[in-house]
Amino acid sequence: MIPFNKPFLTGKETQYIEQAVKSGKISGNGIFTQKCHEFFQERYGFKKCLLTTSCTDALEMSAILCDIQPGDEVIVPSFTFVSTANAFVLRGAKIIFADSREDHPGIDESKIESLITSRTKVIVPVHYAGIACDMDIIMDIANRHNLLVVEDAAQAVDSFYKGKPLGGIGHLGCFSFHETKNVQSGEGGMLVINDEQFSKRAEIIWEKGTNRSEFFRGEVDKYGWVDIGSSFLPSEVSAAFLFAQLENLDTIQNRRKLIWETYYDGLKSCDEKRIIKLPFVPEYATQNGHLFYIVFSNLGERTEMISKLKKDRIDSVFHYLSLHSSPYYSSRHDSRDLINADLFSNNLLRLPLFYELSNKHLEFIIRKINKHLQEI
Ligand SMILES: Cc1ncc(COP(=O)(O)O)c(C=O)c1O
C-alpha cells in the first residue's frame, strides 16, 4: 500500500537526543529548545518563538494571551481542525464560524466584516495547505475594529504571503510539528509572538504561570506564581528531534514542493476539462509542499475515487468535517449555511505526499487518477 503519509527521519534525531540526554538536562527550555527558537528567529525574522508540545497548545496559549473572557466572540473558519476553535472555547468564547472562499478552503476574507459585533475579540485565519489567506485584508479589518489576529499556521511552515513568512504577520502565530507536518517531532508546535506587548506574559503562561524564564536568565533571584498558565513547553528530547529536522528544512521542502508540482502538472488536464479542481494558489501566496488536494463535483465521485485508489493500493484521505455542523457545536451555531465549507468537507481529497514518495509511485498515482477520472 502506498501510504498517505510517512514521517521523514533525517538520521540525526537519535544523535541529538543522545546529546540532550548526556547533557543531563532533558526538561524543557534547554540548549536544543534555544537552537530551535534561534533557527526560526534568524531564518524568518520572527521576533519571539516559544516551542510548545503541539499547535493545539500554541492556540490555547494564544487564547489566554488574547484575554478571552466568557461570551467574547472569535471568528474562525468552519473548515479547519477542531483545535482552532476549541482553544478559544476552553476560555468561554463563542465561536462565529466563517465560510471558506469559493476558490480555496481558506477563510472568505470578504465575509469577515459582516460577522463582527461589539463582542468580537479575535480573528483566526487558517492557512490551509500552507497557502496564505489574504493577510492585508484581514489585518486591515482587525486594525479598523481593534481586533487581534492569531494565525493558525499549523500547516504553513516555510510559506509566504507577499514575501512575508506565514505565522509572522498576525499578532500571534501557531505552528504544528505533528508527524504529519513537513518538519516534525512526533507531537510538537510553536507559538510565534509578533506583537511585543505579549512577549513577557507568553513566557509566564508557557512556564505554568511562573516567572521561571526570568529566573533562569538571572533577572530575578527567585520565581513564583505570577499569572495563569500551564505546562506548554516540550522536553529537550522533542526539541533535539525537531532541531535535526530543521537542519534539513531546505532538502525536505525542495522534495515536497517538487512532488506537489508533479501532481499539479500531471492532473492539470482534468482541471482544464472541469472534471476536478486543483489547488488555487493566489499570486500573493506560495505553496509549501504541505499537502496536495483535488476537489470533486460531489461526494459520490470522491467516495468512488477513494475506493478505486484503495484497490490500486493507494491511500487517499478526505479532510475536515465542517465544525459549524459538528456534534459538539451545531446547536450553538447561529444557523447560517456555510456552503463552501460544506463543499470542501464533502468533495476534497488529499493525495499521498511525503518526502520519501518515489517518482515511480508518484507517476503511478497520477496515472491511476487520470484513468479513473476518465470514467467519471
Ligand atoms: C489547521 C490546524 N490547526 C491546528 C492543528 C493542531 O495541530 P497539533 O496536532 O500540533 O495540535 C492542526 C492539526 O493538523 C491543523 O490542521
SS (H, E, C) 241-267: HHHHHHCCHHHHHHHHHHHHHHHHHHH
Q: Is 264 a residue whose pLDDT tops 90?
A: yes
49-78 pLDDT tens trace: 999 999 999 999 999 999 999 999 999 999
Instruction: Tell whether ligand 1 has an atom less than 6 A from the beta carbon of residue 314.
Output: no
Q: Is 24 a residue whose pLDDT tops 90?
A: yes
| Mean of pLDDT values over 196-208 | 98
246: left (phi over 0), alpha (psi -120 to 50) or beta: alpha
Please give the distance, rounded to the nearest whole angstrom, from the Cα atom of residue 115 to the centre of ligand 1.
24
Q: How far, in Å, are 178, 252, 278, 347 from residue 274 at the CA level? A: 34, 32, 10, 14
Instruction: Tell whether ligand 1 has an atom less than 6 A from the beta carbon of residue 126.
Output: yes
| Mean of pLDDT values over 179-188 | 98
Please give the distance, rounded to the nearest whole angstrom, from the Cα atom of residue 329 to the centre of ligand 1.
18
| Mean of pLDDT values over 218-228 | 96
Please give the distance, rounded to the nearest whole angstrom, from the Cα atom of residue 360 to the centre of ligand 1.
30
How high is the pLDDT of residue 251?
98
Residue 161, helix vs strand vs coil = strand
The atom number, within ligand 1, closest to the CA of 126 reads 1
d(CA 124, CA 173) in angstroms, rounded, equals 10
Q: Which of 53, 55, 157, 348 to mutate to test the pocket of ligand 1 (most atoms within 8 A of CB)?
A: 55
Please give the distance, rounded to the nearest whole angstrom, from the Cα atom of residue 95 to the centre of ligand 1.
17
Instruction: Tell whether ligand 1 has an atom less than 6 A from the beta carbon of residue 210.
Output: no
Instruction: Tell whether ligand 1 has an atom less than 6 A from the beta carbon of residue 81.
Output: yes
pLDDT band for 270, please (50, 70, 90 cuts): very high
**In the β-sheet with 172-176, what is the strand arrangement from edge to edge?**
48-52, 189-193, 172-176, 148-152, 120-123, 73-77, 94-98
d(CA 226, CA 205) in angstroms, rounded, equals 9
Contact 73, 145 (CB under 8 A): no
111-167 pLDDT tens trace: 999 999 999 999 999 999 999 999 999 999 999 999 999 999 999 999 999 999 999
d(CA 218, CA 307) in angstroms, rounded, equals 60
- Beta-carbon contacts of 16 under 8 Å, excluding residues fewer than 6 positions away, are 32, 240, 241, 243, 244
What are the grid coordinates assigned to 303, written together? 467516495
How high is the pLDDT of residue 287?
98
| Mean of pLDDT values over 282-286 | 98
Instruction: Tell whether ligand 1 has an atom less than 6 A from the beta carbon of residue 151.
Output: no
338-347 pLDDT tens trace: 999 999 999 9
Instruction: Tell whether ligand 1 has an atom less than 6 A from the beta carbon of residue 154.
Output: yes
How high is the pLDDT of residue 288?
98
Residue percentage of the chain with pLDDT more than 90: 99
Instruction: Tell whether ligand 1 has an atom less than 6 A from the beta carbon of residue 152.
Output: yes
288-333 pLDDT tens trace: 999 999 999 999 999 999 999 999 999 999 999 999 999 999 999 9
Please give the distance, rounded to the nearest whole angstrom, from the Cα atom of residue 126 to the centre of ligand 1.
10
How high is the pLDDT of residue 376?
81
Q: What is the mean pLDDT of the chain?
A: 98
d(CA 72, CA 67) in angstroms, rounded, equals 9
Instruction: Tell whether ligand 1 has an atom less than 6 A from the beta carbon of residue 129.
Output: no
| Mean of pLDDT values over 349-371 | 98
Please give the distance, rounded to the nearest whole angstrom, from the Cα atom of residue 217 to the centre of ligand 1.
31
d(CA 111, CA 292) in angstroms, rounded, equals 26
How high is the pLDDT of residue 320?
96
Instruction: Tell whether ligand 1 has an atom less than 6 A from the beta carbon of residue 352.
Output: no
Q: Which of 81, 86, 175 to mutate to test the pocket of ligand 1 (most atoms within 8 A of CB)?
A: 81
pTM (two decimals): 0.98
